[in-house]
A and B are shown apart, each in its own frame.
Chain A
Amino acid sequence: MHSTGKGISASRSTPNWLKTTALELDVFQSKKYYIDAELRDTACVSDIREALASAKSEDTHKYTELVQILNPQNKSHVDVVAQQETLLKFLSRSVAFLDAAHHEELLIRILGMKIWDHPPNVVYALLELIISLATTRGKYLNCCLEMLIFNLLSQPHILNKKMREAPSWVHSALHKISYLVPPAPSQILYILVKRMPNIYNKGHGLVTYVDASLKLENSSIGKVVGDRILRVIMLRLLDLDVEIERDDIPQDDSTLGLFDMELEVACPVQSLNQNYSKVSELLDKLMVLSFEHLESCQNAGRLDEVFEILFDLFENLILTTCKPKFPQFLLFYACSLDPEDCGVKFASKLLDIFLSSNKDRVTRTNAVDYLASYLSRGKFLHASFVASILKRLVDECADYCRTYNVGASSGHLVFYSGCQAIMYVLCFRMRSILDVPRFQLLLTPLESVLSHKLNPLKECNPYVVSEFLKQAKAGGLFFVSEAFIFGDLPESETSRAFGGFFSFYPCLFKISNSFISPNFIYWSMVKRTHDEDEAFAEVIVYGDTDNDEDYDDDPVLDNDVKRMSITPKQSFMRDTWRLSKMPSRIRPSTSPSQSLLFKCFRNMCFEFSS
C-alpha cells in the first residue's frame, strides 16, 4: 500500500474504510454527489471489526495494516494523518472488540500516543477513542486515565496556536469519563499523586502539575477529590517554603526593634544562593497560580467551600508547622476576596481555637499569633470587627486573671500570648480603636489585665510592649506609668518562646506580592497615635474611623525606596495645621478615670471651635 499526493492508490489489500476515506476526500472536494453517511460509517465500522477479528486468525495482515497506520514514524504525512484520524474515529465505535491478549500492539500504540505530537483533528479523534475505551471496558479505565494525565502533565512550555485548546480537551475527556464512570475521580487522584514531580525537581514540570491539578479541583472531579488535591499541593508548598530562608533578616541584631525590622528588610525575598533563587521563583509562580485559582473559585461561586478546605489544611498543616512564611497567604488572599464571609470566618475560627481548652497550648498560642497578625494586616477588616475580636481576647485574659492557678505546670503561656496578641493588634490599630469611644469601652478590662501580678508587660515581646505603651500613652487609652516607657526592656524567657510575629510577615515574592499588597497593611502605613510633629504634639485629630482612606493607598512594594520615617502623611498634616489655628489648645490628660470623659469633652471643644 502506498500513498499518492491526493489520495491513496487502491490496491487489493487496501481495506474498504481506507478506500472510502479517499473517496470521501474527493467527494468533499468535488461536491458532486451525496453519500449516505450512515451506511458508509456502518460499513467502515464492520471493516474495522473484521480487521480486529483477523488478529485472532492465521491471516493477520488486516490487523497489521491497522497497527502500521499508528506507527509513530508516519505522523507528518498528510494522508497518514487523515488515515489516523479515520482509524481512531471508527475504532472508538468498536472498543468492545478490542482484546488485550490479541490486540496488545495496537493498544500499546494507542495508549502511547502523545497528543502534543499530533495535529488537532487526530488528537480529537484519539481523545474520543480513549473516552470510549475507558467507559466501555472497565479493565482499561486505569490505563486510559494514566494516558490522559501523562499527556496533561507533559504539556510543552510553549504551545502553538492550533494546540492551545488541547489541555482543555484533555480536561474535558477526564470530565466525560468521570461522568460516565463514578469511581474515576478517585483513580484520577491516585494517579495524580503518583505522578507528582519529586521534591528535587524545581523545573517547569511542577508548575504544569499544580496548574493542571488546580483546574481539576475547580471542576466536577474536584467535587469528589478536591480537598485531597489541595492537600497535596499545600504539602508541596510547605516543602518549598522550608527551603527558603530569610537570609537578609539580621536574626541577632538586637539594636533593631521588631517594627523597625520590617522597614529595614528588603522585600521581595532575595538570596545570594543560586538554588534559593530558583526555589523562590518556583514558589512565586505556584503562589500566583494558587491566587488565580482562588479568584476562579470565587467566580464559580464556590469560594466559601474552598475556604473551608483551606482552613482545615491550615489547621492541620500550617498551624502545626514551625513558622512557615508563605502558604498562609493563600488564606489571607481568600479572606481579602470575600471579607464579609471568609474574612470573618477565618478570624472567628482562629479565636475558637485559642479559646478552646481541649487544644494543646502550642496550637492555641500559634492560633492567637496568626489571629493577631491577621487582624493587624488585613486592610479589608473593619475596625468594628477588630474591636469585637479584641474584646473577646481581653475578656478571656481577664477571666484567666480571675481564675488562674498560680502553680500551673504549663506556666501561663496561653495567657501571655493572648496579651501579646492584643498589644500587637493595638500597635497597628490603636488610632482606629480610640477614634470610636464605644470600641475603647470594649477594651476596658485591658488595663487591669496588663497591670495584673502575672505581669504580662514583662513577659511579652519587649518591642511590642514598648510600642504599645508609647501609643497607649499618646492616645490616652488608659493611665500608663512612666516607669514602663522607654525602659531598656530585657527579653524574658517567655517572650523569647513566642519568637516574634512572622505569621503574615510582609515578605512575599515579586509577582505574588502584587496580589497581596493592595489588601495588606504595612508598618510604614500605620498612623500611630504619637505620630505628630513637635508643634502639634498636644493635638489629636478625630478623623473617620472605618474609612479606608485613612491608610495610605499607595502600597509599599519596594522597601529599599520606602524606608520611611514616621512623619505623618500630607492629608493628616493639613488637618492638624488647620486645627492648630484654632484658639483652643488642649493637652491630653494622663488621668485614667477621666480619659474617656476627657475625650468626649475634647470632641465637643473641636466641634465648638470649628
Chain B
Amino acid sequence: MEGLKMADTELMVYIHPSKCGNEFSAVCRELSSLLFQYDETLDGVLLAFDFTMKSKGAKVLAGLNPYFGVKVESKLLLFNPKPNSRVEGKIVKISPESVHVIVLGFSAAIITDVDIREEFKYTMRNGEGCFVSTSHKRHVLKVGTMLRLQVQSFDEEVMHIAGSLLPVDTGCVKWLEKQSEEALRSVDLEDHKRRKIT
C-alpha cells in the first residue's frame, strides 16, 4: 500500500515543570496528542511513534512559562496519500451511487459512481448491493471486501480520501493478486516452452 512512510526525526519536546522526573510519560503524552491528526511539519498523519531520549540534560525555556525542552529521537509512521497513489481499505457500504471504504481504520474513502469504471455494474445479490464486473464474473465488490483504489485527493482536515476505481489495477485486492499470480505463472510457462524449443 502506498502513502505510508517511516520518518526518522529529531524533536524538541517542551514539557511542563510538574512532569520533571517523569519525562518519558510526558513525551509519550505529547506525541500521543498528535496521533491521527494531519501535521504540516511532519507532512502526514501520525499513526505511530517510537522514541528515545537523546540527552540526559534539558534546557529550560526562557519566558513566563518555564517549560523545559527535551531532545528526542523518534521514528514516526506517517500517512499521506498523494494523488494517483494506491491505497487499500475495507468496503463498509455500497449504494448505486457510491462505495464507502475505511482505510487503515481511521480514514474514510469514497468512490462515487462516476469514478467507477464501466466494467462494474451495480446489482443486488442475497439482498445486498454489490458491484460485479461484467468481464470477470468472479470480480465482485461487496461489503467486507478489501478494495484497492486510486487516490484522487486527500482532505487533511477530516482525513477524507476521494478515490477512483477507473484504473484497471484497482478493485478487489484478493482478485487482483490472484490475477497477477496467474499472469506470472503463465509467463513462466511461456518462458519454459520457449527454452524447450530452443
List residues of A whose CB falls within 8 A of some B CB: 45, 93-96, 132, 135-136, 138-139, 141-142, 179-183, 187
B105, A181: Cβ atoms under 8 Å?
Answer: no
A138, B98: Cβ atoms under 8 Å?
Answer: no
A183, B36: Cβ atoms under 8 Å?
Answer: yes
User: How many angstroms between the C-alpha atoms of A283 and B21 in the bound complex?
Assistant: 42
What is the chain B residue whose CB lies nearest that of A180? Answer: B100
- Rounded to whole Å, the gap between the CB of B34 and the closest CB of chain A is 14
User: How many angstroms between the C-alpha atoms of A45 and B97 in the bound complex?
Assistant: 10
Residue from A96, A180, A187 within 8 A of B108 (CB atoms):
A180
- Rounded to whole Å, the gap between the CB of B148 and the closest CB of chain A is 19
A136, B158: Cβ atoms under 8 Å?
Answer: no
A136 surroundings in chain B (CB, below 8 A): 98, 110, 112
B96, A182: Cβ atoms under 8 Å?
Answer: no
Residue from B93, B107, B157 within 8 A of A182 (CB atoms):
B107
B window 89-107: CB within 8 A of A: 92-93, 95-98, 100, 102, 105-107
A182, B108: Cβ atoms under 8 Å?
Answer: yes
B155 surroundings in chain A (CB, below 8 A): 138-139
Given contacts A135-B110, A183-B36, contact A141 B97 (CB under 8 A): no
Count how many pairs of residues, one from A and one from B, have CB atoms less than 8 Å apart in the complex: 52
User: How many angstroms between the C-alpha atoms of A95 and B114 in the bound complex?
Assistant: 12
User: How many angstroms between the C-alpha atoms of A180 and B102 in the bound complex?
Assistant: 7
List residues of B whose CB falls within 8 A of some A CB: 36, 92-93, 95-98, 100, 102, 105-108, 110, 112-114, 155, 157-160, 162
- Rounded to whole Å, the gap between the CB of B149 and the closest CB of chain A is 15
User: How many angstroms between the C-alpha atoms of A141 and B95 in the bound complex?
Assistant: 19
Given contacts A138-B155, A138-B158, A181-B160, contact A93 B110 (CB under 8 A): no
B160, A182: Cβ atoms under 8 Å?
Answer: no
Given contacts A138-B158, A180-B108, A183-B36, contact A94 B97 (CB under 8 A): yes
> What is the predominant secondary structure among interface residues of chain A facing chain B?
helix
A181 surroundings in chain B (CB, below 8 A): 108, 158, 160
Residue from A93, A139, A179, A183 within 8 A of B92 (CB atoms):
A179
User: How many angstroms between the C-alpha atoms of A93 and B129 in the bound complex?
Assistant: 15
- Rounded to whole Å, the gap between the CB of B132 and the closest CB of chain A is 16
Question: Among the interface residues B95, B102, B108, B159, which one has the most CB atoms of the partner chain A within 10 A?
Answer: B108
B114 surroundings in chain A (CB, below 8 A): 96
Q: List 14 A-B contacts (CB under 8 A).
A: A93-B96, A96-B113, A135-B93, A135-B100, A135-B110, A136-B98, A138-B108, A138-B155, A138-B159, A141-B160, A180-B93, A180-B100, A180-B108, A183-B36
What is the chain A residue whose CB lies nearest that of B106? Answer: A182
B160 surroundings in chain A (CB, below 8 A): 138, 141, 181
B107 surroundings in chain A (CB, below 8 A): 182
A132 surroundings in chain B (CB, below 8 A): 98
Known: A94-B97, A96-B98, A139-B155. 13 other contacts (CB 8 A): A95-B97, A96-B112, A96-B113, A135-B100, A138-B108, A180-B108, A182-B105, A182-B108, A183-B36, A183-B106, A183-B108, A183-B158, A183-B159
User: How many angstroms between the C-alpha atoms of A187 and B108 in the bound complex?
Assistant: 14
Question: Among the interface residues B95, B97, B155, B159, which one has the most CB atoms of the partner chain A within 10 A?
Answer: B97
User: How many angstroms between the C-alpha atoms of A95 and B157 in the bound complex?
Assistant: 20
B92, A180: Cβ atoms under 8 Å?
Answer: yes
- Rounded to whole Å, the gap between the CB of B29 and the closest CB of chain A is 15
Given contacts A96-B112, A96-B114, A138-B158, contact A182 B102 (CB under 8 A): yes
The 4 A-B pairs at the shortest CB distance, nearest first, are namely A138-B160, A138-B155, A96-B112, A181-B108
B157 surroundings in chain A (CB, below 8 A): 138-139
What is the chain B residue whose CB lies nearest that of A138? Answer: B160
B95 surroundings in chain A (CB, below 8 A): 93
User: How many angstroms between the C-alpha atoms of A93 and B96 in the bound complex?
Assistant: 8
- Rounded to whole Å, the gap between the CB of A144 and the closest CB of chain B is 11
What is the chain A residue whose CB lies nearest that of B98? Answer: A136
- Rounded to whole Å, the gap between the CB of A585 and the closest CB of chain B is 66
A93 surroundings in chain B (CB, below 8 A): 95-97
B93 surroundings in chain A (CB, below 8 A): 135, 180
- Rounded to whole Å, the gap between the CB of A38 and the closest CB of chain B is 9
A95 surroundings in chain B (CB, below 8 A): 97
What is the chain B residue whose CB lies nearest that of A177? Answer: B108
A138 surroundings in chain B (CB, below 8 A): 108, 155, 157-160, 162
Given contacts A141-B158, A141-B160, A183-B158, contact A135 B97 (CB under 8 A): no
A141 surroundings in chain B (CB, below 8 A): 158, 160
User: How many angstroms between the C-alpha atoms of A413 and B113 in the bound complex?
Assistant: 72
What is the chain A residue whose CB lies nearest that of B93? Answer: A180
User: How many angstroms between the C-alpha atoms of A45 and B107 in the bound complex?
Assistant: 28
- Rounded to whole Å, the gap between the CB of A127 and the closest CB of chain B is 15
User: How many angstroms between the C-alpha atoms of A438 and B94 in the bound complex?
Assistant: 67
User: How many angstroms between the C-alpha atoms of A508 and B59 in the bound complex?
Assistant: 53
- Rounded to whole Å, the gap between the CB of A138 and the closest CB of chain B is 3
A187 surroundings in chain B (CB, below 8 A): 158
User: How many angstroms between the C-alpha atoms of A182 and B161 in the bound complex?
Assistant: 12
B97 surroundings in chain A (CB, below 8 A): 45, 93-96
A142 surroundings in chain B (CB, below 8 A): 158
